[in-house]
Amino acid sequence: MAQTATITDKRQFTIPVEVYRKVGFREGEKVIVTNRGNKMIVEPAEKIISRIAGSVKLPRRFHGMSIDGMIRKAKDEHFSKKRA
């Protein structure tokens, strides 16, 4: 089922509610945006991480952390090295 959305001047658009529900998106969730040819693919980040789980070893410093926590910690580490 095709849906229509309008892209704003800030390059934003609203995901139609039927698509949002069918895909299982949640408010505030991280997504991965990629392109294949002239198509845009938007996938929940957690589903992609689940798909590749086990193929890449998680560094000890990230054990027990949420995805958002890992991202925050990695950014903090990255930018603290740049400032040093």
| Residues 1-60 pLDDT 10s | 788 999 999 999 999 999 999 988 889 888 889 999 999 999 888 777 666 667 778 889
Residue 29 lies in a domain: no
Q: Is residue 76 part of a domain?
A: yes
Parallel, antiparallel or unpaired: strands 31-36 and 39-44? antiparallel
d(CA 43, CA 33): 7
In a domain, 20, yes or no: no
Q: Amino acid identity of 36?
A: R
Domain of 67 in residue numbering reads as 57-84
What is the number of structural domains in the chain? Answer: 1
User: 66 lies in a domain?
Assistant: yes
Q: Is residue 15 part of a domain?
A: no
Residue 51: per-residue pLDDT: 67
Asked if residue 19 is part of any domain, the answer here is: no
